[in-house]
Structure 1
Amino acid sequence: MLMRMGIRIFTVLAALMLAVRVSAQGNDPIIIGAVFNSTGWMAEYDQPAQRGAEIAVEMINEAGGVLGRPLELRVLDGETDPPVVFNAALQLIEGGAQFIITPSDFDIGGPASAAAQEAGLVGLSPGASSPLFGATALGDKQFTVAAWTNYGSAASAAFGIEEKGWQTAYVIIDTSIDYSNSQGLYFIDAWEALGGTVVGRDTFVQGGQDFSGQLQRLQALPEQPDVIFIASYMPDLGTIIRDIRALGITTPILGGDAYDTTAFYAVLGEQFGNEIYFSTHSWMGEETGAEMVAFIERYQSRFGVPPDNSFIALGYDAVQVIARAVEAAGSTDGDAVAEAMREMDFTLLSGNLDWQGVETGHETLKDLFIIEVQGGAPSFVMRLLPEYVPAA
């Protein structure tokens, strides 16, 4: 009798202890580790994404969290240095991160994604747009919120030919990283596929700051092209365009999402920031919709300034994607969440997003936004989903 009572008491106590453990786990935060570069050239793109991510975490927690658990964002600086980025991701994973948000570039952010894949975790970049950032090169749990450069370049080409009526283009490519190199090559493909003519091309490597050779070759053309496409990123992107304009060349300039920064507009100013057009991932203005208007108010209240580039929206969306996929999967398990991400269609702050399967590398289907720069200030032109897209 006493033995049976002892067994019952032990069983009840064990059940209570299990319930306490489950309850405690249920209240534990879901930890999102993020490597956002706050130093080096990538800070221009990652710091806006970090601010967007912070707002997303705040808003989700205010609404009750995910699966009844709060989100916690832990951030480390990758110093725009791939080995540092990799070690930062490892440190976050060892500290309990269940997801990794990586820097917005394949060459810099890829190591963080590799660390996440090795640990069996979903890795997600807000703004990496090289087609290498995805399942093919990095693994089946790796994604980017951004449209790949084949889509961005195709959108720029379609805008130039179909909307502006330009026929001839001169292309200058920064070959230092896959982002800008692939962007330039995809533009040439799309431009020619749409019936345009590339009258010449040139290259440079980020960090040189001396574009005298490129400028001489541009000036020596027998006839100036309808448009100059420049595939690069800050800071050299702003420098080469400023130098082109300083020579008195007023030919329209076309480009991609790396133009979408406050520093870009500041370098060019009213004098040199004219007749520039680029494709990017969103537009931080009322033209994007009511959700964006509400977000702008929240952002301005939180940071004291209005949001100024699409990487803010991409950082916000990265956290939203993780939260919604975890809810759909009912779990933080990497395989389950990755499968949910592939199966779901997302309506996000930056626009609609649909990832394709592992066999495509998690190709991102997403609208692009065309922005115009006049007097050193950007303005919205249109949304554009190109019909012709070069194969990645």
Structure 2
Amino acid sequence: MKRLATAIAMSLATAGAGLADDITVGFAIAKSGWLEAYDTPATTAARIRIDEINAAGGLLGRQINWIEADTKSDQAQSASAGLQLIDEGADMLIVNCDYDFGAPAALAAEGAGLNSFFLCAEDIKAGIQGVGPNSFSASVLAAVQGATMAEWSLGERGAKTGYVLLDTTIEYNKGICTGFDWMFPNAGGDIVGRDTFKNGDASIASQITRIKALETEPDVIMLCSYIPGAASAVRQIRAAGINSLILNGSAVDGSYWLNATPNLSGFVVPVQGSIYGDDPRADVEAFNIAYEKATGSRPASQYAYPGYILIDLWAKAVERAGSLDGAAVTAELEKMRDEPTAFGPRSFSGEIHHQNSAEMQIIEITDGTPGVAGNWRISTPVPLDVLLN
């Protein structure tokens, strides 16, 4: 009996040590509320990459497990979730897609000396500027999306004139227009007018009247908005007989909204990868298939992809640092210059923990069908002072 008790004690001790040796990733994410639609796909993608790393032998010779806490799309709950996960032993935190909602959890990680990654935030503040030196985002800045549309339309479609139509409802939209406003004139284009609206506006008739009053229809309209307001604006622009090429940011990727704009053509967005099965990179379609196997459906938009990217980059930095220490991992992340990923090269620096330049796939909708029309990487990264506008 004594030998049996000793064996059981030794077995329990060994099991405990095995669990203690695991690496723990904490997800402070929205499992309810409006942010859930953004957080869940990127979280699923992150866990796919974790499973791949574990199957290949783990990280630093250890398996990665994960724990989660629901932020409920609430800023106060974000802080509580972050602290809870740290108390439960998280070695790094992954936080909400949105900067405002993810920042409280990221700040908790910063206070504990841990790395944090925003799932898909595209505001420069989601990193050094708004959280601290150990915080990063895996997505591509909104301003880069706008700058990409500006330079691509000039280089590939011969655009010369542009009109800016800004939805002032959220900061993301302003970021898109900031990038377009910076790049379009610098690349040789002429912005011939600008206007604003709100996402919930039922009509943009007055804005359309001002566009139609121009001597010549603009070559492109930079529409900085998101669904549902973007779909409503596009429908009204086309109904008014305006045939300008309409540009937008990544937020309107996906075909789920196209029933609201039947037979739409001449609408273009930049994305990190194509969900439509036509991405020229085999790794992207391999991920789409893995995502479908895990969830029963393909990604609905490109916003799943940053979750996969962030785990990939963080794991590489951990291996190179030989440590989970936040500062050591940050130092390795900041050395990354055009680091290969399945979705194109990624870079960080001591000033910017975001992508201020990235290869984007260009998705064009023609007769209601989206597809890859090419790819583009802006010739000059968006400067920090522009990003901070």
TM over 0.5: yes
Alignment partner, residue 114 of structure 1: 107
Kindly indicate whether residue 207 of structure 2 is the aligned counterpart of residue 205 of structure 1.
no
Matched to 1:35, the amino acid is A
Matched position secondary structure for 1:372: strand
CA contact (8 A) 1:261 1:308 kept: yes
Q: Structure 1 residues 115 and 196 mapped into 2: Cα distance closer, same or farther (>3 Å)?
A: same
Aligned equivalents of 2:309, 2:143: Cα separation in 1 = 21
Q: 2:312 aligns with which of 304, 314, 320?
A: 320
Unaligned runs of 5+ in 2: 1-9, 385-389
Aligned equivalents of 1:236, 1:82: Cα separation in 2 = 24
Alignment partner, residue 6 of structure 1: none
Q: Structure 1 residues 225 and 106 mapped into 2: Cα distance closer, same or farther (>3 Å)?
A: same
Q: 2:334 aligns with which of 335, 342, 350?
A: 342
Q: Structure 1 residues 217 and 90 mapped into 2: Cα distance closer, same or farther (>3 Å)?
A: farther
TM-score (norm. length: structure 2): 0.86
CA contact (8 A) 1:190 1:388 kept: no
Q: Structure 1 residues 247 and 129 mapped into 2: Cα distance closer, same or farther (>3 Å)?
A: same
Alignment partner, residue 14 of structure 1: none
The alpha-carbon deviation at position 286 of structure 1 amounts to 4.9
Q: 1:302 aligns with which of 294, 297, 302?
A: 294
CA contact (8 A) 2:161 2:192 kept: yes
Kindly indicate whether residue 265 of structure 2 is the aligned counterpart of residue 311 of structure 1.
no
Unaligned runs of 5+ in 1: 1-16
CA RMSD of aligned residues (A): 2.7
Alignment partner, residue 177 of structure 1: 170
The alpha-carbon deviation at position 107 of structure 1 amounts to 2.9
Q: Structure 1 residues 286 and 115 mapped into 2: Cα distance closer, same or farther (>3 Å)?
A: same
Deviation readout 1:212-238 (Å, 9 max, x if unpaired): 443343344343211111112233222
The alpha-carbon deviation at position 364 of structure 1 amounts to 4.5
Kindly indicate whether residue 75 of structure 2 is the aligned counterpart of residue 58 of structure 1.
no
The alpha-carbon deviation at position 39 of structure 1 amounts to 4.1
1:115-130 correspondence runs (5 A): 115-130=108-123
Alignment partner, residue 279 of structure 1: 270
What percent identity do the matched residue pairs reach?
32
Structure possessing the higher radius of gyration over alpha carbons = 1
Alignment partner, residue 289 of structure 1: 281
Q: 1:190 aligns with which of 183, 186, 193?
A: 183
Q: Structure 1 residues 182 and 299 mapped into 2: Cα distance closer, same or farther (>3 Å)?
A: closer
Alignment partner, residue 155 of structure 1: 148
Aligned equivalents of 1:229, 1:360: Cα separation in 2 = 26
Kindly indicate whether residue 73 of structure 2 is the aligned counterpart of residue 73 of structure 1.
no
Q: Structure 1 residues 255 and 61 mapped into 2: Cα distance closer, same or farther (>3 Å)?
A: same
Decide which moves more: 136-145 or 242-251: 242-251
TM-score (norm. length: structure 1): 0.85
Kindly indicate whether residue 338 of structure 2 is the aligned counterpart of residue 330 of structure 1.
no
**Number of residues paired by the alignment?**
373
Q: Structure 1 residues 239 and 165 mapped into 2: Cα distance closer, same or farther (>3 Å)?
A: same
Matched position secondary structure for 1:348: coil
CA contact (8 A) 1:149 1:182 kept: yes
1:7-26 correspondence runs (5 A): 24=17
